[in-house]
Amino acid sequence: MNAKPFDITPSPRILRVLGDITVAQWRCLAELIDNSIDAFNAAGRRSEAAFDRQVSIAIPRQDTDEARIVVRDNGPGMDALQLENAVRAGWTSNDPFGNLGLFGMGFNIATARLGSVTEVWTSRRGDIEETGIRIDLFELQRSKNFTVAQLKRAKSNSSKHGTEISISRLKPDQRQWFARGASISLIRRELARCYAPIIENSPGKPGLLIEVNGQRLAPKRLCAWGKDRAVDLANGERVFAVQHFDVPLSPRRLCFMCGQQPSEQEGDKPADCPNAGVGCNVQNTQRRIHGWIGIQRYLHATDFGIDLIRNGRKIEMGNKELFNYVSSGNQIVEYPIDDPRGRGRIVGEVHIDHVRVTYTKDRFEREDPAWEEMVRVVRGDAPLQPNKARDLGLPPNLSPLSRIFQAFRRTSPQGKNGRWSKILCVKNNDLAIEMAEKFDRFDHDFQGDDRWFQVVEGQDEEALVGTGNSTGSTGQNPSLPGGLPAGILDLPHGPQSRTPEERPAETFELSRQRVPELSREYAHPVFRARYAVETFRVSQLDPELVSGEPWRLKILDPATQSYGFFVNANHPVFSSSTLTPIDALMAELSHRAMDLLESQQVSGASFASALTGFRKQYCVATSLDARELVARAQQALEKIAIALLLESTPQQRESAFSSLSDEERRSIGRAMVARGVSNQKAVVEAGEFLTYADAKILQKVFESDPAALLDGKFWDESFRTLDYGTEAVTQEARIARREKYSGLISDAGWLASQTSSELERAPKAQVQRAALALELLQPDST
């Protein structure tokens, strides 16, 4: 008699468990977008009628019980069987390597991570009704089976087609996260980076349209120098700023069901899949590695690196692992090493469609042999640094990354009068970043790199004639008359030895640095005085400044009352803590307002009232308003908490929570209760408990790992990269840096804990110190 077979159908609770896997919210949405893209591509392969490809995402803005997330596309739609397979955990298509969707788990992980109820409605062109399914994780667990009803609803137009996924009964922590204003901006930014190759339009190939809350995503492209820009090395070799490559690889046999690679041969026939599972299907896959490595037009402490792409979607963005040389199991950082602030500018895009990725699709599998193949193609087997390669007895590294490294590893030219054009670098990096922001906004004038190169040529001219630099630093020599830069009086006479007054204004315009925070329209809150001002940081030699004046307010267009404010921020007058450029601007505008008011015979107007009004309106950041300071302190601590959350791994967050005392945990719990958190356990497991922590707890977490916020992650100052030659001195420097920021967090915590009345009674010097701490705590990297 045969014994009764075991029933190992998994518990429906497995779907809820999948929701406990830590996946960033934007990646959950990306998983659903991937499914839409796969459907679009499948329709294209079937030569179905062309249509404009669109995916729209609706994200809740308020933390309410009714909040839901909806992802809708106008793809070909599905029949009932296709819908059943699409939502079945573990189901996969016949071609997992040619699609973005993987493993059949992505849909379940993404939806369960966000909420407990998911509805999917779909229909094809010509269908008279939509087919739907409702997955309620709590109901499945209660009923203890996976059987759900097939739903139907009428269509208003049979020609419409597509799929809609709606996620409701969102988890409390997810509702709170989505309700934050910064969250939607983060989602837009990350999706715009992730799908840039897919949503960008090209001739004859319109990109996919993705909308988030009605706003179309514009691709976040890499701002790199053009492919025709080149520099000459000392050995006469010409290296272009973009290195393209396209390397075909031999086909590889892979199982389309589980992704395993069988051995090449078993006797006289090809080997089967080593898993030998039901449905395993070994086939040959075509493989190639292609892309480019290039030079970004600006430097940044974190915003650089190689983007790794699978089937058009960026899986890893800003990968810096390829800059490391692995020797005897140790990773040696080879870039950036020549910038004193640790900033980099090597970027690129590498397409590796055939390399396996993790089930959360945030990382390529390093264990896949195809990963090592990619590393050899892109960066080579030898160190990027020629001397290291020679010392190891290795041949020269001729990889694309190595060629770029050899030509552009430096961020400042060698020699006193070195040419910036020889390394394609804008010396005034703040100006370069501002220009890159215009590139991101698709400003026509900044799409090509001509404007950047004009700045570079202007820098070279200044280096040749000795007129200082484009950052506003004057290079003054007190022994020379008028404080002119050293060397200017020693130049021979000729076309390039003109005095600053004789040089064309355009030369200085290239070196002027716009100050965005002081460029705006200023309107007096009481008097009818309104001025549009563009502020520029300039050197003391700028022709707009006469006889070494520290600033000048100049009318540019009387009809519109448009002004230019030119300020030499390095002038000694600004070394005083009681005078800043905005103070100077407020005084100038008050004078202009008084002239206007006197001409209009406005009664009760005085310079004091004009200046007071302007400062009250536009000097909030430097005021000591009690309520404003408390709010700013709370915002500063929240930014730090979010940064600690984003820059840490799940293991680090778990360790941080475990290290808290019982009282500290109770403090966090009370904060959660006060803010209406019902599922505290979920918040803790997601690592978001830090956003409910007070300053003392944030101090403790920061002190345990200062590198989580330093080294360009939140603040630019170095920590791990500090090196003073000896371990003892280096360790002392690290302790001092940790204590500096820990003290600033403590000052912010003191402010945040005060009431308005307590702050008004506190000593002014103490309030000023804490207010300055808020300025120093602002992030350097965003």
**Domain regions of the chain by residue span:** 13-216, 230-264+279-408, 420-503, 514-622, 626-776
Phi then psi for 775, rounded to 5 degrees? -65, -45
Provide the pLDDT confidence category of residue 240 given band limits of 50, 70 and 90.
very high
Amino acid 462: pLDDT: 64
Each residue of 492-516: pLDDT tens digit?
Answer: 333 333 344 444 444 445 567 888 7
Considering the chain, what is the average pLDDT of its residues? 80
Amino acid 587: pLDDT: 92
Tell which wins on pLDDT, 668 or 282.
668
- 5: exposed, middle or buried (C-beta count within 10 Å: 0-12, 13-18, 19+)? exposed
Provide the pLDDT confidence category of residue 270 given band limits of 50, 70 and 90.
low
Is the pLDDT at 729 greater than 60? The verdict is yes
Can you read off the two tokens belonging to residue 292?
């480019």
Each residue of 13-31: pLDDT tens digit?
Answer: 666 666 667 788 999 999 8
Task: State which CATH number among 3.90.480.20, 3.30.565.10, 3.10.330.20, 3.40.50.300 fits the domain covering 13-216.
Answer: 3.30.565.10
Each residue of 98-152: pLDDT tens digit?
Answer: 555 544 567 888 888 899 899 999 999 889 999 999 988 888 777 777 788 889 9
Name the 3-class secondary structure at 155: coil
**Of 202-216, 283-297, 615-629, 667-681, which gets the smallest average pLDDT?**
615-629
Angstrom distances, CA of residue 662 to CA of 658, 682, 694: 10, 18, 14
Rounded to an integer, what distance in angstroms lies between the CA atom of residue 218 and that of residue 57? 15
Assess contact for 13 and 143: CB atoms under 8 A: no
Can you read off the two tokens belonging to residue 270?
């090809």
Assess contact for 696 and 749: CB atoms under 8 A: yes
Residue 380: closest CA among 323, 301, 447 = 323
Is the pLDDT at 287 greater than 60? The verdict is yes
Residue 71 CA, distance from chain mean position: 24
602 residue type, one letter: V
Task: State which CATH number among 2.40.128, 2.60.40, 3.30.450, 3.30.230 fits the domain covering 230-264+279-408.
Answer: 3.30.230
Amino acid 102: pLDDT: 45
735-757: average pLDDT: 88
Amino acid 484: pLDDT: 28
Amino acid 245: pLDDT: 95
